[in-house]
Amino acid sequence: MGTLRNTLLLILILSLCSKGIGFLRDLMITNYVGFNAKTDAIFVSISIVTLIFSVFNTTIRTTFSPLFSSRYLKEKAAVLEEYNNIQNLFLLPFIIISLTVYLFPGFIISIFTPGLNEDSFSYSVNFLKILSFMLIFYGFYYLSTGFLQSIKIYKTVEIGTIINNFTIIACIAIFFQKYNIYSVVIGYVIGSILQFMYAQWVLRKKTNIKFKPKIRFRDKNFNEYISTSKYIVFGSLVTQLTVISDKFVASFFDAGSITALHYASTVKNLPLNIVILVVTNVLFTNLSILKEESKEKFDKLITLQVKYLLYLICPIIVIFICYSEELIRLLFYRGAFTEQGIEMTSQALVAYAIGLFFWVIKEVYTKAAYASKNIKIPFYTSILSLFINLIFNVILGYFLGHIGIALATSLSIAVNCFFLMNKLEKNGIVENKKEMLTITMKNIIFLFIVIFFINILDEFLFFHFDYMIRIIIGSIIIFLIYISCAKLLGIEINKFMRGK
């Protein structure tokens, strides 16, 4: 437990650094470009590239661990040869994807965001054409980092992200005066190349792998990878389409709606990426092994993950709901950012924050399904979530605009969460329904009480303070409440900190 705790702590620190620098990147884009049709265009283009390889990244992380984690120490040479073959087999698909995006950017953008105005569409086409070059480097970067994670070398992703974001920031600072917003796109391309080179260097150093230009189509493990990954690919694709569907509907709203959703989502994703995904990804390898050893220990680990991750995320939810406007003003209100941008982004953040609670549970249970090699249930759950999100997007978007889109995302995640829990329980994969309902209800009730209490304090005591002071005092009080009430929520902080 101590070693695992130290690993988690190191990855959390690196993740915090990488996300902090990523946030600085977004702040620079905001400061230089503002809140307008150009920012809508750049975030649409980046989202399309992210869509393509987020699907691939999820598949790699999920399938490589069962394939390689238990065999690497015993059969290192064979595993490295299999990985070399998989990497060579993916070269042609990566080139085809990159060329397709380069040749047909307008068609692709028309499919995903048909409501863009003329200026946004024109910029998006140009941006996507340039960004198409980074797709090959993204592909091999995710392959190498996915393999490294499967053999318990975790920090490469975070350091690679730091390199990428530093490069983007440097390009904006150096080239913006000459190339304007195109400096951002250039930064993304150069950053993808540098992080790819770093990942390859780590892979060679840690494994002594020697890449060979050999391809075996009849590879047992590659066939197993394809067989295992097909549902994960489609499930991840559906998940990313859910994200894109938000931009699809938002493209018909006022200019800046896509940007508001992007910045609100960026703030919302910070705690998810820094804490939740890091913890679940690091524990996934152990989860896969534990599933084979003891069903009781497997169920216990799932319950503990949910309990402790909810304890970590709930104070963040309270801050996002109670101090959304102050937070967005603190983070983004400089340079070309506007008051309208603050209002639109803070409204979206509150709507997104509602879904964070259920996202945590969904993520843990999805990993439990993958560790059990049941990939169909998350796939069908993702399809259900997509349709629910689309329906809510149209209905709530019509009445609430961009706020409705963010709220639709949260509601679809909640439905997804309960459906997934129920299906895994019925299939005997995770049998802890009673404990989970108790944990969920206890945390929801306590969450409402804390939000009500903080709003009362803010209304009668803190209303005359500067917005920055309100955030600081409010956040301190929120965390003190959760620390002092840890035992009430079933959290034993002392044992956890000692690694017991």
pLDDT tens digit string along 149-158?
Answer: 777 777 888 8
- Selected residue with higher pLDDT from 496 and 212: 212
187 and 270 housed in the same domain: no
244 and 258 housed in the same domain: no
pLDDT category at 50 given cuts 50, 70, 90 is confident
239 and 360 housed in the same domain: no
- Residue 210's pLDDT is 82
pLDDT digits (tens, 9 = 90+) for 243-282: 777 777 887 887 778 888 888 888 888 877 766 655 655 5
242 and 371 housed in the same domain: no
C-alpha 138, offset from chain centre: 16
pLDDT digits (tens, 9 = 90+) for 149-205: 777 777 888 889 899 999 999 999 999 888 888 999 999 999 999 999 999 999 999
197 and 134 housed in the same domain: yes
End position of a domain, from candidates 180, 213, 248: 248
56 and 190 housed in the same domain: yes
Structural domain of residue 295, as residue ranges? 253-500
172 and 61 housed in the same domain: yes
279 and 233 housed in the same domain: no
416 and 480 housed in the same domain: yes
End position of a domain, from candidates 191, 224, 248: 248
End position of a domain, from candidates 226, 248, 270: 248
232-241 average pLDDT score = 66
Q: Please state the domain count of the chain.
A: 2
pLDDT digits (tens, 9 = 90+) for 51-110: 776 666 666 666 666 667 667 777 788 888 888 888 888 888 889 989 999 999 999 998
Q: How far apart are CA 237 and CA 313, in angstroms?
A: 26
- Selected residue with higher pLDDT from 295 and 313: 313
204 and 263 housed in the same domain: no
Q: How far apart are CA 280 and CA 12, in angstroms?
A: 12
- Selected residue with higher pLDDT from 129 and 305: 129
185 and 36 housed in the same domain: yes
- Whether the model pTM is above 0.75: no
62 and 121 housed in the same domain: yes
